[in-house]
Structure 1
Amino acid sequence: MATRRPRLIERRKAVGHTQESLAEAMEVDRTTVGRWESGHAAPQPWMRPKLAGVFGITVDQLADLLDRLDGPTGARPEIVPVQLPQAQRPASPRDMVAAIATDSAESALFLRFASTTNVDEILLEQLEADIARLAVEYVSRPVPDLIHEISSMRRGVFDLLQGRQHPQQTIRLYLAAGRLSGLATHIALDLGHYAVAATHARTSWLCAEHAGHNGLRAWVRSIQSLIAYWQRDYAQAAELARAGMPYSDGGTMGARLLSLEARACAASGGQAGTLRAIESAAEARTGTTGVDLPGVFTFPEAKQWAYAGTALLALGNTRWVPQAISASHLAIALYQAAPEADQSSGDLLAAHLDLANAHLASRDTDGAQDALNVVMQARPERLTASIAKRLQALNRSLASQPYAGSPALLSLRENVQEACSRPVLTTTSEPST
């Protein structure tokens, strides 16, 4: 007695199909359906989603039906090697015609499957244009205007990747998913949710790997360096910045990674490494080739000078304070001269706080107060987690020697304490600096 799949037959009958009507629905020969049910063959993988849909079940449930092979005793038969006889009766012409027709039908079905895609060129172009727009708008607009769109678009791309595309379309979708995950990383980072940011960054890295895109790989390493920096793991921050350099094959990524390395080295007291990285970042800027995606995916010269000011100041040596002041002033001037859409208020506040610290280190109380006034006037939605951390660090400095108890710094201390007491960003964001 032939091995059979009785549950598969029962399901076919339950949905009202004969072998002939099922064959028609599946666009195969009736004998193919018969071979499925007899256990002599199984539907090809690309046929199974369609067959599952005809049966009104999931692909996993269909796999279970196909797996149940019942022999004469109702038990699953033992799989034994097939012994072919030495001589077989040649197939009749009629059998050969039927076999050729079945193979042709299956080949045609696979052709339709392989040609089908759930995306098209227009959709991909619009998606890429929307991501570029969001990357630009994120620099200067509060996130409540953008966060829902970023989140819903990212989910939409994830859903598309579960469908079928041609290989090049899949690569473009992975690149889109990686960039949207990068924007999600920025949001979490600016809100101070570092574990969440790290998860988004890992997703972005995986997408960059699938897309084979060096620019995104380098950018992800840069934002992972930022996460480590704000978690005060400065050695890891520097290592991640260095790990991104092999992928920085164009645009401003080399300057970004070297600037991050400089800041991380300075925070851990490495003067030689800091100065080397600052100089190398300047060289990388002059040798920039290629074009970045705009907005948060590029590294403007103003931010490079802001990072240099932070790094020089973090060295804790009065020798570098004048250079830190010059770097911060230049960063502020470049941002203020930039088009409004490119003016990151988060970077401007960071540069003003660096300037306040530098003036304080050079005993210029008025200069420190002037720089701090800009921060005091900032709206609450501009006080990101990184700005709050900088204010808290300044508050601790003013409470320690040689500044503690100085009557000349009384007003400054009160202003910083008041700024620290203000609510920090919870639902809005600027790019972390």
Structure 2
Amino acid sequence: MIAVICDDADQTGIQEALMVRRRGLAERRVARGYSQEEFAALLGVATSTVVRWESGRSAPRPYQRPRMAELLGMSRADLDELLSSARTVVITSGSSPFSASLGDPGDMRRRDLLGLLTATSALLALPDSPASASPGRTSAVVPEAEEAVIGHLWRVYGLADDKHTLYPVVRRQLGSLAEEMEHARGDTGHRHVSTRIADLYQLAGELFFDARDNALSAHCYALAASAAREARAYDLWACALTRHAYVELYAGRAASAAALLSAASRIARRGDSALSTRHWVSAVHAEAHAALGDFDACVRALDAAEEVHALSGPVHNGGWLRFDGSRLAEERGACYVALGRPDLAEGALTSALTQHLGPRRRGAVLVDLAALGAHRRDVDQVVHYADEALAVAGQTRSGYVSVKLHGLFPRLAGLPADARVPDLHQRIAALPHPA
């Protein structure tokens, strides 16, 4: 970091000079024909990592630089020179130092959504009254059309390898719903809007969970649960709590997750018995029991989840509820890995890997198979499956797979001495951590 002392008149010039230096890396990338997304994928990192490199907020790790220099058509020495330019300017005006930040798009997006979350939460809590709506203002929104749009977004989310591309569309829809909530009149109107808020904020939570922002995804799920409660939509409410429990699970707070899932289970019993809600809650509850080391409770929960196969007709809506039991083999295998039962885990996981899996699901199974190898102290198995999972994480930028990979660290510590293990540790450490 370079510290620069200047008065107010100098600040603009310094910021402009800094931007020129920071643009050097981006200009070289563009000249070689790569978008930020393509460049990130070729390096096996998140696009946000490339953004931070190009803004000077962070620098590539040494082991990433040879491949980076190759892609940019530069020598290592030239790349190091380019990366060593000033990254931050601290300007002192009078006696108060401050950072001349050029702003990070991800941070601005985060602040924007937090503001919208706060405003929407307040609107949900307000009682309906004539004063709450502008005189003569009526909503032209047709609830069924809005629900169809949200349902379409869920389908696109399920098909997209890079989930982050949906955010701008989702953000516009969230803003529209907040405006509609501000002018909703009567109990029926309030419930209609609350239902759609509960639906769309769960999708927003999924986007941020996949982007490794655990805190923001938890905020989204909490608001979704509150909105579903307002709408008295029990299945929707239980699903929001279950997604919130996932955040707790992957943050290592299994007891907190179990408490949320117990509440979700009670709420799901008040919902539609033809839907798979309660069975999905049981499947996730099994993961919490496994993390807590309770084998018997885990098996009971898995068996309860298997009862989804006794349901007939459409058991889910393909949006906020997608559980149909097709993932139970991999979920059972993951639970047995967590419980230290490789004898039970391997069959379930290898069976799951033969199915047609989306990238995130395949990545999760690969990590569990790597963990199984670590339990056996089989370095070949660990490296083989972890390498494949790292490729998935790099291609999809999936925070879900990234979090699973970070969970391998304690297991790597017990492996026999092998040069591949510290290299694997470094490559996983290069993945962005959840916020």
TM over 0.5: yes
Shift of 1:382: 2.4
In the alignment, is the contact (CA less than 8 A) between 1:349 and 1:387 conserved in 2?
Answer: yes
1:386 aligned partner: 400
| Equivalent residue in structure 2 for 1:327, among 327, 348, 351 | 348
In the alignment, is the contact (CA less than 8 A) between 1:217 and 1:247 conserved in 2?
Answer: yes
| Equivalent residue in structure 2 for 1:136, among 122, 138, 155 | 155
Q: Distance in 1 between matches of 2:182 and 2:407?
A: 46
Q: Distance in 1 between matches of 2:152 and 2:336?
A: 34
Shift of 1:234: 0.7
Letter in 2 for 1:118: S
Distance 1:293 1:287, change over 3 A: closer
In the alignment, is the contact (CA less than 8 A) between 1:395 and 1:416 conserved in 2?
Answer: no
| Equivalent residue in structure 1 for 2:412, among 380, 398, 410 | 398
Q: Confirm whether residue 220 of structure 1 aligns to residue 213 of structure 2.
A: no
Distance 1:426 1:228, change over 3 A: closer
Q: Distance in 2 between matches of 1:358 and 1:258?
A: 24
Q: Confirm whether residue 313 of structure 1 aligns to residue 337 of structure 2.
A: yes
Letter in 1 for 2:196: A
Q: Distance in 2 between matches of 1:222 and 1:48?
A: 33
Letter in 1 for 2:150: I
Shift of 1:225: 1.0
- Which digits, 9 at most, give the CA deviation of each residue in 1:170-191, with x for residues without a partner? 3222111111111122222223
Shift of 1:229: 0.9
Letter in 1 for 2:411: S
1:189-338 → structure 2 map (5 Å cutoff) = 189-248=209-268, 249=272, 250-287=274-311, 290-295=314-319, 297-316=321-340, 320-336=341-357
In the alignment, is the contact (CA less than 8 A) between 2:204 and 2:220 conserved in 1?
Answer: yes
1:72 aligned partner: none
Letter in 2 for 1:398: L
In the alignment, is the contact (CA less than 8 A) between 2:212 and 2:399 conserved in 1?
Answer: yes
Secondary structure in 1 matching 2:252: coil
Distance 1:167 1:419, change over 3 A: same
Letter in 1 for 2:297: G
- Which digits, 9 at most, give the CA deviation of each residue in 1:119-159, with x for residues without a partner? 35xx3222111111111221232233210111110110111
Shift of 1:230: 1.7
Report the structure number with the largest CA radius of gyration. Answer: 1
2:46 aligned partner: none
- Long gaps (5+) in structure 1: 1-44, 54-112, 337-342, 428-433
In the alignment, is the contact (CA less than 8 A) between 1:262 and 1:278 conserved in 2?
Answer: yes
In the alignment, is the contact (CA less than 8 A) between 1:229 and 1:264 conserved in 2?
Answer: yes
Shift of 1:417: 2.1
Shift of 1:221: 1.4
1:424 aligned partner: 432
Shift of 1:167: 4.2
- Long gaps (5+) in structure 2: 1-128
| Equivalent residue in structure 2 for 1:349, among 360, 363, 366 | 363
- Which digits, 9 at most, give the CA deviation of each residue in 1:376-419, with x for residues without a partner? 3225252433322322332331222xx232x4xx43x1552243
Distance 1:424 1:303, change over 3 A: farther
In the alignment, is the contact (CA less than 8 A) between 1:138 and 1:296 conserved in 2?
Answer: no
Q: Confirm whether residue 180 of structure 1 aligns to residue 183 of structure 2.
A: no
Q: Distance in 1 between matches of 2:153 and 2:133?
A: 36
| Equivalent residue in structure 2 for 1:161, among 181, 192, 196 | 181
Amino-acid identity (%): 18
1:74 aligned partner: none
2:390 aligned partner: 376
1:87-98 → structure 2 map (5 Å cutoff) = none
Distance 1:305 1:419, change over 3 A: farther
- Which digits, 9 at most, give the CA deviation of each residue in 1:280-315, with x for residues without a partner? 111244336654221453124343322211111111
